Amino acid sequence: MTGLKEYRQRPHWSASSLNELLNVCSLKWAYSHGVYDAEQEFTPVALAFGSCFHQVLEYFHNLKQRGVRIESVEIPDICQVVWGETLERGKEIRFEDDMSADDYGNQMAGLVKTFLEHADPEEEVVSVSEPFIVPLMDSEGQMLDKPLIGEMDCIVRKGDQTTIVDWKSAARRWPKGQADKSMQATAYLYAHSVLQPEMNPEFRFDVAVKNKTLVFEQHCTARTQEDFARLGQLAVRADNIVEHELFFPNEQSFACSGCQFQSACKNWHREHSRVISLAA
Amino acid sequence: MLKLNSSFSKKVPVQGQDFSSQSFHCSVEVEIPDGLPPEALQRRIHETFELVKSSVETELNGKAPLAESEKVQQSDVPGNNGRATNRQIKFILDLARGQRLALSDVNRIIQADFGRESVYELDKKSASQFLDQLKKAA
């Protein structure tokens, strides 16, 4: 099966890319996608942690799918190994909250354990890390040039009901309605509806919250055809923004404190020339 | 839109004629979208240049020119390992929709006929064949 890495090689949109451009900060999008030249100053620990957390859950869910029994004692060791590799690969990971790398490793083991303890034994794992690529349509049904790509963390089945599950770790409990507003849920349900129109899956966020006492939450959400049309129209707008380079800093973004492009952003109003590479 | 102009020329000696050469030149101008990351832009420039260069070589070696549909793909965004381009896929899916085929139907046909799981996994040549298949069925 072709993977997400290959899908990324063609011009595309993903839920996270659309979200970053439209909801987080368009200037950050321009920096992270190389439209403007800016060096990534550091890797936020949350990014490295989230990536590692996914890898560990992917590993355990693959075992579960194959019917292998998971022993709790294995969890800390696996977390330490994967977290160690993540730290080695990561570029200048910036830690926060007075926590050391080991503290993060231990926290991860706790979160993964909480996750697996709350897994419904009646849920069958259908697939893990399922990549997808589908065409996007505007609200009038015209196909956009760029497809939508992504990867569904896990698809489970219980009885006749199929559910797309996305794994999250969070610093605090999710507020009411967060799942209903998620562009990721819209994008994944849309992709599934295009690929398997005969099915009607649910979408669920499984969230491990890093409270002192670790908390596990599940947030179910659904979407309609109207939501899918709206997503397509947002992608049209995103294309326009990119085409006309309408990038600007979102001065009040919640993401500013953890942004890897703070220095470049500070000077943006004086040095925002576009990157042009000449070759051949 | 940015404009990219890429050209390649090659001189070869004329067989049997001393101090004589023939020059083959090909030039192409393509539009590329603003906002491409530098790597994508670099790749695009490289692949456009490769296309021009290989076209000159093809003509020199007397090979058949590319089919019309292949020319369309070649001028589209390169850099996806020979996979069908977004523009080519858009042609396919628009044609398929005209024939009341959903993406899932198209993918099923592609699995059966080309052994690929999705239209996005077709290479340029297979996409071109499939496009012709759809045109005939229209």
pLDDT tens-digit readout, A152-190: 999 999 999 999 999 999 989 999 999 999 999 999 999
Distance CA A239, CA A227 (A): 18
pLDDT at residue B65, rounded to an integer: 43
Q: Is the pLDDT of residue B71 over 50?
A: no
Least-confidence region, from A147-156, A172-181, B70-79: B70-79
**Lookup: tokens for A147:** 């497809």
**Lookup: tokens for A273:** 């020339």
Domain boundaries, chain A: 1-35+122-264, 42-117
- On whether the CB atoms of residues B54 and B74 are closer than 8 A, the answer is no
More confident residue, A276 or A171: A171
Q: Of the spans A35-39, A191-195, B1-5, B27-31, which averages the highest pLDDT? A: A191-195
Q: Is B123's Cβ below 8 Å from some Cβ in A?
A: no
* A10: closest CA of chain B, how far (Å): 5
* B125: closest CA of chain A, how far (Å): 17
Chain A residue at shortest CA distance from B101: A194
Eight-state DSSP code of residue B120: G
Distance CA A268, CA B24 (A): 47
pLDDT at residue B30, rounded to an integer: 76
pLDDT at residue B81, rounded to an integer: 65
- On whether the CB atoms of residues B72 and B131 are closer than 8 A, the answer is no
In terms of DSSP bridges, do strands A43-44 and A202-209 run parallel, antiparallel, or are they unpaired? unpaired
Q: Is B118's Cβ below 8 Å from some Cβ in A?
A: yes
pLDDT at residue A31, rounded to an integer: 94
Strand extents, DSSP E, chain B: 2-13, 21-32
Distance CA A140, CA B38 (A): 33
pLDDT at residue A275, rounded to an integer: 60
| CA distances, A59 to each of A5, A70, A132, A150, A166 (Å) | 18, 11, 20, 19, 15
The CATH number that domain A1-35+122-264 falls under is 3.90.320
Residues of B in contact with A277 (CB under 8 A): 38, 41-42, 45
Q: Is the pLDDT of residue A12 over 80?
A: yes
Q: Is B13's Cβ below 8 Å from some Cβ in A?
A: no
| CA distances, B90 to each of A131, A261, B74, B116, B120 (Å) | 20, 35, 15, 17, 10
- Considering only CA atoms, which of A130, A124, A131 is closest in space to residue A64? A124
In terms of DSSP bridges, do strands A43-44 and A93-94 run parallel, antiparallel, or are they unpaired? parallel
Q: To which H or E segment does residue A205 belong?
A: strand A202-209
Q: Is the ipTM of this complex over 0.90?
A: no
Q: Is the pLDDT of residue A49 over 50?
A: yes
Distance CA A269, CA A248 (A): 9
Residue B96 phi, psi dihedral angles, 5° rounding:
-65, -40
- pLDDT tens, residue by residue, B32-68: 777 777 777 777 787 777 777 777 776 666 544 443 3
Burial of A98 (0-12, 13-18, 19+ CB in 10 A): exposed
Residues of B in contact with A35 (CB under 8 A): 35-37
Q: Is the pLDDT of residue B77 over 60?
A: no
A122 CB neighbour count, 10 Å cutoff = 9
Mutant choice from B45, B91, B103 vs A, greatest count of A C-beta within 10 A: B103
Residues of A in contact with B117 (CB under 8 A): 1-2
* Interface contact flag, A243 B34, Cβ < 8 Å: yes
Q: Cα A123 to chain center, whole Å?
A: 23
* Interface contact flag, B38 A7, Cβ < 8 Å: no
